[in-house]
């Protein structure tokens, strides 16, 4: 009797594992598309401007995509929870591919900006779709070893994006920077449509919370515009920036009120009553803050101070990215084998603090070896955090909230990256301008405190030396701020409550329901 009763379970488990293995590749392709796109397009932008013109609108090619992605992310998560993850994910892929095709056919900068927004709408559903589907297919106890692969995809995108973008632009033309998404997306779309099988889901009779979605979109748009424009397009105390801050604050305050009244809120407030989920939201924000700030300023330091070319500066990030990838894979497998995870965010927070502090000590005499070792320490810290954050967040909510939990963590990480680039960038630029003012007096030639290798070579020796010192001073200030921010992530990790991870075939653990005392 026992053997007979156990046989269907074994068959179901074997079928589930086969489904996971088959679907994993197209899921990784879909996620790679969303992460790779901006880096490939960034490399092609000079060529695009040369053909389409519209240099004054250049920043909007990136901003339109970022805004649409950030604003749509939580909505995609909620749609998946309400109407089914597979259909929602397939729709996101289709919209992304339509946006990619239209962007490749754009005839002027205005069209390109509009089509990039369409592409960004689809991209908002790619990452959250991958995370939520993995959360439904794979029990938390096993999820770590699979989510470590996601960090590997992130590292691959950061390393390969600029190289692939440059190669495509040089040999096939800039339009193929968008068209390259079509065959890859078609493969992912075909396999997911044919193979992905998720447990049947009862469609929600409630309508989506349109007022909440609109208010959240206005709030997120205002935040991203403030971080994108503040200190660059407009002064921080300008009417435009202060107006955007006021609009964003009012919209988010109204959003919080509306969510408490909505039948199906876009972001259910009860998930933030779970301590671990709230801690992971904070940690995701801070990790995004630190990571994208580092990715921005390390190549700048390497080019301006250490004399690396643009291509080599990307390759010199390998110590950080490889360390992040290896550690993430280790942490994922260790979590799956032991079921314990609290030590990893604690170690990650500590290593981020140390790594950023070491990077803050770099100066004009720092060797590439020393810089590489410091980057490896930072990469290890981020590797411990990148996917464990998502794992803990998903383990803190019930299956009904898997989509909004995944989208919320993704959104917080995106907003953290916007704030990190803006705030660390403002500190960096201010410090460079101050140092150059003290040493040279005329800073008009700096163009926002960033000179490429060709411009730097045209400076006389004394000005070039002063600029290199100023850049090292600016990175020192930026990374010191990053180290202080990482301290908060470390303190948040200390407060995590280790809730057991559910295994395959196991029942819900404490914390899998919406508001259990064990996770609050």
pLDDT tens, residue by residue, 467-489 = 888 888 888 998 999 999 999 99
Q: How far is residue 388's CA from residue 385's CA, in Å, rounded to a whole number?
A: 5
3-state secondary structure of 230: strand
Angle at 153 between CA 407 and CA 421, to 5 degrees: 65
Of 240, 254, 274, give the one whose Cα is nearest residue 409: 274
What pLDDT is recorded for position 350?
95
Q: How far is residue 496's CA from residue 175's CA, in Å, rounded to a whole number?
A: 47
Q: Is the pLDDT of residue 373 over 80?
A: yes
CB-based burial label for 402 (10 Å; 0-12, 13-18, 19+) = buried
Contacts of 456 (CB under 8 A, 6+ apart): 304, 464, 467
Q: Is the pLDDT of residue 284 over 80?
A: yes
What pLDDT is recorded for position 347?
94
Backbone phi, psi, residue 108, to 5°: -150, 170
pLDDT tens, residue by residue, 407-460 = 888 888 888 888 888 888 888 878 888 887 777 765 554 544 455 555 666 666
What pLDDT is recorded for position 206?
62
As assigned by CATH, the class of the 270-504+509-513+516-520 domain is mainly alpha
pLDDT tens, residue by residue, 244-262 = 999 999 999 999 999 888 8
Q: How far is residue 41's CA from residue 64's CA, in Å, rounded to a whole number?
A: 13
Q: Which two tokens stand for residue 453?
A: 């290798």
Residue 27 is inside which H or E element, if any? Answer: helix 2-52
The angle that helices 343-360 and 461-494 make with each other, rounded to 10 degrees, is 160
Return the percentage of the chain with pLDDT > 70, whole number.
82
Whole-number average pLDDT of the chain: 80
Angle at 459 between CA 454 and CA 462, to 5 degrees: 140
Q: How far is residue 171's CA from residue 163's CA, in Å, rounded to a whole number?
A: 12
Distances (CA, A) of 298 to 37, 232, 263: 21, 20, 46
Strand partners, 230: 234
pLDDT tens, residue by residue, 374-415 = 999 999 998 898 878 888 888 888 877 888 888 888 888 888
3-state secondary structure of 263: coil
> In the Cβ-directed half-sphere of 351, how many Cα atoms lie within 13 Å?
24
Judge contact between 104 and 116, C-beta under 8 A. no
pTM as predicted: 0.79
CATH code reported for the domain at 1-197: 1.20.1250.20
**What integer is the mean pLDDT of 355-367?**
89
């Amino acid at each position: 009797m026992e053997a007979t009763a156990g046989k269907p379970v074994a068959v179901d488990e074997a079928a589930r594992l086969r489904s996971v293995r088959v679907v994993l590749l197209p899921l990784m392709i879909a996620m790679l598309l969303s992460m790779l796109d901006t880096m490939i397009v960034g490399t092609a932008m000079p060529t695009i401007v040369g053909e389409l013109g519209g240099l004054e609108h250049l920043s909007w090619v990136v901003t339109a995509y970022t805004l649409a992605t950030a604003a749509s992310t939580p909505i995609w998560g909620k749609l998946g929870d309400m109407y089914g993850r597979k259909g929602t994910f397939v729709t996101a892929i289709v919209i992304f591919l339509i946006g990619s095709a239209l962007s490749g056919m754009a005839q002027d900068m205005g069209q390109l900006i509009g089509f990039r927004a369409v592409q960004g709408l689809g991209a908002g559903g790619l990452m959250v779709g991958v995370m939520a589907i993995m959360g439904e297919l794979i029990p938390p106890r096993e999820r770590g070893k699979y989510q470590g692969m996601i960090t590997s995809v992130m590292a691959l995108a950061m390393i390969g994006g600029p190289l692939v973008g440059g190669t495509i632009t040089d040999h096939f033309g800039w339009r193929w920077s968008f068209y390259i998404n079509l065959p890859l997306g078609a493969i992912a779309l075909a396999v997911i449509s044919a193979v992905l099988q998720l447990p049947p889901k009862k469609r929600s009779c409630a309508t989506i919370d349109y007022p909440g979605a609109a208010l959240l979109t206005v709030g997120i748009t205002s935040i991203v515009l403030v971080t994108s424009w503040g200190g660059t397009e407009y002064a921080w105390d300008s009417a435009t920036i202060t107006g955007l801050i006021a609009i964003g604050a009012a919209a988010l305050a109204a959003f919080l009120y509306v969510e408490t009244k909505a039948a199906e809120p876009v972001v259910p407030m009860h998930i933030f009553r779970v301590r671990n989920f709230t801690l992971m939201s904070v940690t995701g924000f801070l990790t995004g803050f630190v990571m994208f700030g580092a990715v921005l300023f390390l190549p700048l330091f390497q080019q301006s101070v250490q004399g690396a070319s643009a291509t080599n500066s990307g390759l010199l990030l390998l110590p950080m990215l490889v360390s992040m990838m290896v550690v993430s894979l280790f942490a994922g497998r260790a979590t799956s084998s032991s079921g314990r995870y609290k030590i990893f965010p604690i170690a990650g927070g500590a290593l981020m603090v140390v790594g950023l502090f070491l990077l803050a000590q770099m100066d004009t005499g720092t060797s590439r070896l020393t810089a590489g070792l410091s980057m490896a320490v930072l990469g290890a810290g981020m590797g411990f955090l990148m996917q464990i954050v998502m794992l803990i967040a998903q383990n803190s909510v019930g299956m009904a909230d898997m989509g909004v939990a995944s989208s919320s963590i993704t959104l917080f990480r995106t907003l953290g990256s916007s704030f990190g680039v803006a705030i660390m960038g403002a500190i960096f630029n201010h410090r460079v301008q101050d140092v150059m003012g003290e040493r040279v007096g005329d800073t008009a030639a700096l163009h926002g405190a960033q000179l490429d290798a060709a411009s730097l070579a045209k400076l006389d020796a004394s000005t070039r030396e002063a600029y290199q010192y100023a850049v090292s001073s600016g990175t020192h200030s930026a990374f010191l701020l990053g180290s202080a921010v990482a301290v908060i992530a470390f303190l948040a990790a200390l407060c995590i409550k280790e809730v057991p991870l559910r295994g395959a075939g196991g029942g819900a653990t404490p914390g899998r329901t919406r508001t259990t005392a064990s996770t609050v």
